Structure 1
Amino acid sequence: MREEIDRNIGRRIRELRTARRQPVNHVAAYLGVTPQQILKYETGQNRASASTIYLLAILFGTTVEAFFSSWTMVSNDNTQYGGPTYPANPREIVNPSTQHQPLPQ
């Protein structure tokens, strides 16, 4: 599950970087890392730390939440908010293609 989370964050990093037309070498210089490290974040091969995500949010002119915007929280009583994604209990996996629940009113 951690690897899937890392890949999703990496995809969002790439989406935000390309949407803002930021070259990999510019982002790398801003963070003080190599361009290869940025590519590893984007593929989920390496984890981006909380401070890295914070700095990327500043660079991209967005919020930290933007890196998690396509995800949904599921409470401990399995009440789901938004579209399906990660449950509160990491042992339970919600399959977005098979589990659809209406939003609470």
Structure 2
Amino acid sequence: MSHPVDIHVGKKLKQIRTLRRLSQTDVAKQLKLSFQQIQKYEIGSNRVAASRLFELAKILDVSPSFFFEGLHDNTNDAPKSDPSIEIVSALALIKDDAIKSRIVTFIEDVSGVTVARQS
């Protein structure tokens, strides 16, 4: 059984990876791992070593502490719904890149923030 901290870190990894528009394969290549290893990190079945967490933070341009943010907020084990994650997850399911781009442009227009695009 996975430890709750490993599950939390994995969820945060998936969140930031998705927000950065990187695939599991993209991240895995930079770490010289298989995408399956990234999957295991994200579901919490494999624990992320401190050195690997540091490398992930550099790749994803976040502080290592990012992966632990909100950890103590889950005091009652009730899952909290994060609309941002729901939007990113729904967007990831859209296969048509032109539609995705139009949706991202709409969100940028509404928020007033332009997201850096991955090449």
The TM-score range, normalised by the shorter chain, is 0.5 to 0.7
Q: Determine what percentage of the aligned residue pairs are the same residue.
A: 33
Matches of residues 5-24 of structure 1 in structure 2 within 5 Å?
5-24=5-24
Give 1:46 shift.
0.4
Counterpart for residue 66 of structure 2: 66
Uncovered stretches (5+) of structure 2, i.e. residues with no partner: 79-119
Q: RMSD between aligned alpha carbons? A: 1.8
The runs of at least 4 consecutive aligned structure 1 residues that moved more than 3 Å come to none
1:95 aligns with 2:103: no
* 1:51-74 C-alpha deviation (Å, 9 max, x unpaired): 1110111011110010011123xx
* 1:58-104 C-alpha deviation (Å, 9 max, x unpaired): 011110010011123xxxxxxxxxx4x4xxxxxxxx4366xxxxxxx
Q: Could you tell me the TM-score, scaled by structure 2's length?
A: 0.60
Q: Which letter maps to 1:95?
A: N
Uncovered stretches (5+) of structure 1, i.e. residues with no partner: 73-82, 86-93, 98-105
Matches of residues 6-85 of structure 1 in structure 2 within 5 Å?
6-72=6-72, 83=73, 85=74
The structure where helix makes up a greater share of residues is 2
Inter-CA distance 96–43: structure 2 relative to 1 (3 Å threshold): closer
Whether contact under 8 Å (2:5, 2:71) holds in the other structure is no
Whether contact under 8 Å (2:28, 2:35) holds in the other structure is yes
Larger relative contact order (CA 8 Å, sep ≥ 6): 2
Q: Could you tell me the TM-score, scaled by structure 1's length?
A: 0.67
